Amino acid sequence: MITGASAGIGQATARWFWERGWNLVLWARRIDRLEELKRHLEQDHQAGRTGTDAGTGAWIAIAEVDVRDRASVESAYGLLPEAWKPVQLLLNNAGLSQGLNAVHESDPEDVDRVLDTNIKGLINVTRVVVPDMKKAGRGQVLHVSSTAGKETYPGGGVYCASKFGVEAIAKSMRQELLPFGVKVGTVSPGMVDTEFSLVRFKGDAERARSVYDGLEPLHAEDVAEVIGFMATRPDHVQIADVLVMPRAQAGSGMVHRTPTQSSGL
């Protein structure tokens, strides 16, 4: 089960698992994008996938879900057939940032959207999915955090607070679920070439592109591969956290840019 599956890391991760024979439950706000992704994946399925074939009966379930909406989350999970529960892996990927303002200059609506999505939305999904894992004594929860969950930077106070919160939630969950066989981890990417900056700057494509000027950021597929590795370790292995950055980055506020490089955006 992947939240925020319509683009970026969520979409790339869906492709990674589908190519390896996993069934998928994909949630996002943009149902048109999920429908397109489902169609493309199923076409690939018919053409033959890595480690599987068109006769495996694999399936993809999609739903229009805004993780901020508790009723929407509960309804979507409730519509899943009981035979599909518990899910083997929950990837809490839905998240965003808004603006690059000092905390005292933050737009209250931006603050609400970031915290409601990154923290409350993650909790909304977790609280409906994890009880079935706990009851069955198996499963894994991975949260997509960020380098911003490790260190702060000017203009990122609210977003950093949300990702520090994700780190705290993951650590608490790992302790809470220890007796029940459920693994919990986080993957913390640095700069990734997705829609993240476009969303942060509210559609300002030029400003979003400038974030990656002079360096090659991570690509969504790079992070998907890390998530796939974490999710496919032997049952006794729990990877608590992976911090992954592009070679040109050494922290949330430290990058090396060269005038000859281009992000390709």
What CATH number corresponds to the domain at position 224?
3.40.50.720
Name residues whose C-beta falls within 8 Å of residue 194's C-beta, 6 or more positions apart in sequence.
7, 8, 9, 220
pLDDT at 136: 97
Contact between 16 and 225 under an 8 Å Cβ cutoff? The reply is yes
Q: What pLDDT, in 10s, does the model give residues 106-161?
A: 999 999 999 999 999 999 999 999 999 999 999 999 999 999 999 999 999 999 99
pLDDT bin (cut points 50, 70, 90) of residue 210 is confident
User: Do the domain assignments include residue 211?
Assistant: yes
User: Do the domain assignments include residue 2?
Assistant: no
Does the active-site annotation cover 77? no
Does the active-site annotation cover 159? yes
User: Do the domain assignments include residue 11?
Assistant: no
pLDDT at 49: 46
Contact between 16 and 227 under an 8 Å Cβ cutoff? The reply is yes
User: Do the domain assignments include residue 61?
Assistant: no
Rounded to an integer, what distance in angstroms lies between the CA atom of residue 6 and that of residue 56?
A: 24
Q: Which of 77, 120, 134, 159 is catalytic?
A: 159
Name residues whose C-beta falls within 8 Å of residue 148's C-beta, 6 or more positions apart in sequence.
156, 159, 160, 163, 164, 252
Q: What pLDDT, in 10s, does the model give residues 155-199?
A: 999 999 999 999 999 999 999 999 999 999 999 999 998 876 676
Higher pLDDT, 83 or 207: 83
Q: Residue 228 is part of which domain span?
A: 66-255
Q: What pLDDT, in 10s, does the model give residues 48-106?
A: 444 443 334 679 999 999 999 999 999 999 999 999 999 999 999 999 988 889 999 99
User: Do the domain assignments include residue 103?
Assistant: yes
Run of H or E residues at 109: helix 108-115
Give, in degrees to the nearest 5, the angle at Cα 155 between 153 and 157: 70
Q: Which two tokens stand for residue 113?
A: 């959207």
Residue 217 pLDDT > 70? yes
User: Do the domain assignments include residue 170?
Assistant: yes
Domain count, the chain: 1
User: Do the domain assignments include residue 14?
Assistant: no
pLDDT bin (cut points 50, 70, 90) of residue 262 is very low
pLDDT at 51: 41
Question: Which amino acid is located at 223 in the chain?
Answer: V
User: Do the domain assignments include residue 80?
Assistant: yes
What three-state secondary structure class fits 35?
helix
Q: Which of 38, 77, 163, 183 is catalytic?
A: 163
pLDDT bin (cut points 50, 70, 90) of residue 226 is very high
Contact between 194 and 4 under an 8 Å Cβ cutoff? The reply is no
Rounded to an integer, what distance in angstroms lies between the CA atom of residue 3 and that of residue 22?
A: 16
Q: What pLDDT, in 10s, does the model give residues 5-30?
A: 999 999 999 999 999 999 999 999 99
